[in-house]
Chains A and B, each alone.
Chain A
Amino acid sequence: MELQMRTMTPQRILVLIGYAAAAVALFCAPLYLSDFRLNLLAKFLAFAIVALGLDLIWGYTGILSLGHGVFFGLGAYAMAMYLKLEASGGKLPDFMNWSGLTSLPWFWKPFGSFGFAVAAGLLLPALLALVLGFFTFRNRIRGVYFTILTQALVIITTTLFIGQQAFTGGTNGVTGFGTLFGQSLGKAETKQILYFVTVIALFAAFVLCRYIVGSRFGRVMRAIRDGENRARFIGYNPAVYQMLVFCVSAALAGLAGMLFVLHVGIISPSMMGIVPSIEMVLWVAIGGRGTLIGAALGAILMNAAKSTFSESYPELWTMFLGLLFVIVVVFLPKGLAGLFPQIKLRKRRGMEHEGEGVHYSAL
């Protein structure tokens, strides 16, 4: 592997120690956290997976998607459909009864199998991303235009899910699950196992993103971000790269959605709407776009802060969230992760007494 070929500078060793410490802390979390806290942490880790995917497309490829709530929601609904079918035990799910359906709709049927549900949870978001990407990137629709289109995608998906109540559970969403493989979802042991599954999924996602970013493919991604036309003139086709990254990013969001449903036990259209989608972007912005670890940490920290403050001061929290958005975007375009190199650079520049030289502009 490329990793071992590199020389081990003290900095690299420090970083590796940091990763190891994070891994140990996460794997030992059941030892020092209560069941309730563990469940919360598991949810945050699932969000961190979304943040990783979002960072790939936004931080590394320069395309802002406000539609990740939809991909997250599709994954979540895929898992929820499986759990709902298991909970109803061969009968019609309750909300379909209330809406007057007499038989299971055809597209619900395959979700009885766990394998299909997981595959659909990953592939459906990726497919949707591919279709949207195909019709936009190929025509060089990008930047703000693309962002607005993704936001419109969120609106129509949520209205569609709310409108088709008989098939999706409407505003209430899908909930009331019982078991997974015969194990009750409410039991502490099940929750612990699911927590470990999430930690492993997060690490796998992190390694995958790390690999993509470090590879030749990742270099092209950054080239596209910094100068799409230049990359095109050198002979790369940016649209292909953008589509692929968008797909991977969407699949990661779908994975996170599946895990989210397992931890929280409900998915409804309000969890995939405009506000959650933009909040996901905020996690990445605050953690630091363009650094994977920053994005993941941003998601965990922001959600921890939210669950601590928003329960006691919901009004102040909204204000705070809005102000944070403004401050981070205007003053800290690289997020919290950007603070550290900035300080280091400033120190070094100060020592060398060099006023000019490379411009470390925030843009």
Chain B
Amino acid sequence: MDVTILQMFNGLSVSSILLLIALGLAITFGLMNVINMAHGELIMIGAYATYVTQTLFKDLFPEAMFGWYFVAAIPVSFMAAFLLGLLLEFSLIRFLYGRPLDSLLATWGVALVLQQLARTVFGAPNVAVTSPEWLNGGLTVMDGLVFPYKRIFIIGLVAATLFVMYLYIYRSHAGRRMRAVMQNRDMAACLGVSTRRVDALTFAIGSGIAGIAGCALTLMGPIGPSLGTYYIVDAFMVVVLGGVGKLIGTVIGAVGIGMTNTLFEYWTTASLGKVLVFLCIVAFLQWKPKGLVAMRTRSLDS
């Protein structure tokens, strides 16, 4: 019983990280029909931004301040990935609108370059980020059942990000413009929405969220140049499963994959668990080929 609850908790924490990563992917794919394989590297940038913040705090500030570096690291890693995303959109992605397969290949090239850059700057071996003192230890729920604070913190961070994203997408002017472009780009453009600006901003925000995900990942273990590649395919599966265009689809997709992954890996072995999850996803797509929540459209070749 204890173990099952712990596994469920772990599954929830895996899901929350997946959700953070997949959120940006789903939005950019739904909005611009662009698949960003360099998304994993934006996670890595976020993680390294956290690492740099930590090092700066260690060198520049008194020791008592060190515990608070993580609070500063979250906006720093968001901004780092946000700016890189903006640059990426401006220099490359905008040439690839409406060519999803080509965008996938081109951004994979970008991913290779970014990984190599990180290897040159920070070195190939993984670096460890010291978690702040206040995140060590855990919450004892029952005898022999401890929820680590780090994972609770990550789940909280994801919930907060999700809430902010919800407000942005469904309760703000910018979000309304974004949804309009997503539903009908031409019509939105006719009505005076600057689709170019919406695209750039949305892509950058998606990248920034990936940066936050990278920041969260530093709590889970050491980070390295190829950090993003471990998560990127799972995150894409979330998009495939959840469908594009609605926040709720991504949430359900992430929780579904994170939970089943953890549980299957617990019941069988790590490698067999992955196979089973894959089979489940393919089986699910037999029922809903466009994912759980699909945008309604009347166009045939969308």
- Using CB atoms and an 8 Å cutoff, list the residues of chain A in contact with chain B: 64, 132, 135-136, 139-141, 143-145, 147-149, 151-153, 155-156, 159-160, 162-164, 227-229, 274, 278, 281-282, 285, 315, 318-319, 321-326, 329-330, 333, 363
Contacts and interface: CB of A to CB of B under 8 A. Distances in A.
Contacts of B286: 135, 139
Contacts of B282: 132, 135-136, 149
What are the 10 A-B residue pairs with the smallest beta carbon separation, nearest first? A325-B109, A163-B271, A322-B112, A322-B113, A329-B106, A326-B109, A139-B289, A322-B109, A144-B100, A318-B116
Contact of B104 (A64, A228, A282): A64
A329 B236 contact: no
Contacts of B105: 64, 278, 281-282, 285, 325, 329
B282 to A, nearest CB: 5
Contacts of B109: 321-326, 329
B92 A330 contact: yes
A329 B108 CA distance: 11
B232 to A, nearest CB: 9
B115 A318 contact: yes
B250 to A, nearest CB: 14
A231 B286 CA distance: 23
A274 B232 CA distance: 12
Contact of B106 (A159, A227, A229, A330): A330
Given A64-B104, A135-B286, A139-B289, A163 B233 contact: no
Interface in B83-127: 92, 95-96, 99-102, 104-106, 108-113, 115-116, 119-120
Interface stretch (B160-168, B197-205, B206-214, B272-280): B272-280
B300 interface: yes
B274 A159 contact: yes
The majority secondary structure among interface residues of chain A is: helix
B113 A323 contact: yes
B110 A326 contact: yes
B101 A152 contact: no
B106 A326 contact: yes
Nearest to B287: A139
B96 A330 contact: yes
Interface in B67-88: none
B154 interface: no
Contact of B270 (A147, A159, A315, A323): A159
Contacts of B289: 139-141, 145
B271 A159 contact: yes
Contact of A229 (B35, B104, B300): B300
Given A151-B236, A155-B274, A323-B109, 19 more contacts: A132-B282, A139-B285, A141-B285, A143-B101, A144-B101, A145-B285, A159-B271, A160-B274, A162-B271, A163-B272, A227-B301, A228-B301, A278-B105, A322-B113, A329-B96, A329-B102, A329-B106, A330-B96, A333-B102
